């Protein structure tokens, strides 16, 4: 009879929240909620050995920073060879950001890292926390339940399994809190667990590499009609910005503003790396499809293809910190861990 060792990392989020004196939800400590987490307290998973880890100060995920991303990654690295899978209990607001950045931090990943959480606290009578955690346990201990081992950073939420760096939060209230607009679901949890084998990454033959450096010196620019481009000049004057994620219209179109083009030209001269992604939930950047395309301006702007905002921004932070300037463009244009379709 096979067994598995699974690490559960509690970072905070709605999953473990309780109401404070103002009736607002705030994160509780692990010791205060662990008694309510039946999957790891009962004998439902006799063949699974759990290791429990918690942030000293659990967070609402809106407070996540690169510091916490590295904390999560280092906990996993320390326990990587002694565990079969990892579950990260995380708030939903920035879960897709954390799942995306960890997918870049672990190269040649051979074990599942599963993010999950809840839209209602585990202490609520109608909580979705328990079923989300149970489904994540099945994935983390895959060999026990004879389902495929998925060597990816995943989001497991409300009966669906998504690639972390293809995911985005879609609702503040629906139990179906996440979606993957440009890539198929990797699995579903019905009476039978269904894994879409053809779309999961293969277990690599080389050892996992741990690359945790992050450069947070980037911004995102969301274009809108009537935008005053005069404000953008202060970005270049700051001398602190190293990367820009530009969210353009449709398949990569921009306003025909000379002031905006001059801003981009100056940013490039300052060696600021610029990645172009679409504002549309579905679809991809299509260079030169329209006359108004940014890529018709003959500027060295990187095509972000069908990347989510979460994946593009965290990938840019990771690439800036873990590669030389001459490699930035090539790495941002390359599909590294399933985050884009080129």
Is residue 340 over pLDDT 90? Answer: yes
Whether 14 is catalytic is yes
CATH 3.40.50.1170 segments of the chain: 4-210
**Of the residues 14, 116, 168, 314, which is catalytic?**
14
| CA geometry: angle 93, 305, 229, nearest 5 deg | 75
Beta-carbon contacts of residue 63 (< 8 Å; ≥ 6 apart) = none
Percent of the chain scored above 70 by pLDDT? Answer: 99
**105 membership: H or E segment, kind and range:** helix 95-105
pTM of the model: 0.95
pLDDT at 191: 94
Q: How far is CA 8 from CA 49, 53, 133, 195, in A?
A: 10, 6, 10, 22
Q: What is the pLDDT, as a whole number, of residue 26?
A: 83
Average pLDDT over residues 291-316: 94
- Render pLDDT for 58-111 as a digit per residue (tens, 0 to 9): 999 999 999 999 999 999 999 999 999 999 999 999 999 999 999 999 999 999
| Closest by CA position to 227, among listed 250, 254, 205 | 254
> Is residue 21 scored above 70 in pLDDT?
no
Q: What is the pLDDT of residue 1?
A: 58
Q: Is 11 exposed, middle or buried (0-12, 13-18, 19+ CB in 10 A)?
A: buried
User: Selecting from 1.20.1060.10, 3.40.50.880, 3.40.120.10, 3.40.50.40, what CATH number does the domain 218-333 have?
Assistant: 3.40.50.40
Quote the pLDDT of residue 297. 83
- Portions of the chain given CATH number 3.40.50.40: 218-333
Structure tokens at 253: 């179109």
239/115: higher pLDDT: 115
> At the top level of CATH, which class does the domain 4-210 belong to?
alpha beta
> Across all residues in the chain, what is the average pLDDT?
94
Give mean pLDDT, residues 187-204. Answer: 96
């Amino acid at each position: 009879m096979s067994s598995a060792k699974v690490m559960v990392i509690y970072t905070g989020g709605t999953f473990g929240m309780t109401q404070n004196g103002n009736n607002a939800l705030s994160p509780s400590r692990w010791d205060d909620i662990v008694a309510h987490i039946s999957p790891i307290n009962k004998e439902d998973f006799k063949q699974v050995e759990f290791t429990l880890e918690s942030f000293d100060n659990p967070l609402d995920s809106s407070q996540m920073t690169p510091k916490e991303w590295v904390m999560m990654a280092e906990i996993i690295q320390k326990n990587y060879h002694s565990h079969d899978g990892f579950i990260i209990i995380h708030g939903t607001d920035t879960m897709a950001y954390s799942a995306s950045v960890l997918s870049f931090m672990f190269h040649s990943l051979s074990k599942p890292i599963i993010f999950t959480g809840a839209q209602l606290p585990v202490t609520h009578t109608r909580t979705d926390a328990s079923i989300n955690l149970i489904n994540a346990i099945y994935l983390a201990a895959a060999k026990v339940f004879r389902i495929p081992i998925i060597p990816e950073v995943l989001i497991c939420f409300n009966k669906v399994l998504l690639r972390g760096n293809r995911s985005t939060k879609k609702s503040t209230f629906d139990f179906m809190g996440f979606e993957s607009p440009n890539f198929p679901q990797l699995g579903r949890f019905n009476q039978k667990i269904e894994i879409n084998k053809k779309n999961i990454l293969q277990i690599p033959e080389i050892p996992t590499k741990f690359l945790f450096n992050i450069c947070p010196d980037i911004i995102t620019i969301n274009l809108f009609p009537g935008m005053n481009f005069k404000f953008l000049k202060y970005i270049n004057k700051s001398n602190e910005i190293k990367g820009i994620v530009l969210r353009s219209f449709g398949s990569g179109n921009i306003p025909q503003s000379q002031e905006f083009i001059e801003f981009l030209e100056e940013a490039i001269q300052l060696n600021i790396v610029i990645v172009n992604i679409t504002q549309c939930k579905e679809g991809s950047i299509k260079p030169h499809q329209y006359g108004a395309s940014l890529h018709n301006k003959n500027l060295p702007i990187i095509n972000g293809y069908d990347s989510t905002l979460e994946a593009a921004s965290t990938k840019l932070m990771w690439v800036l910190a873990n590669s030389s300037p001459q490699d930035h463009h090539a790495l941002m244009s390359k599909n590294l861990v399933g985050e884009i379709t080129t």
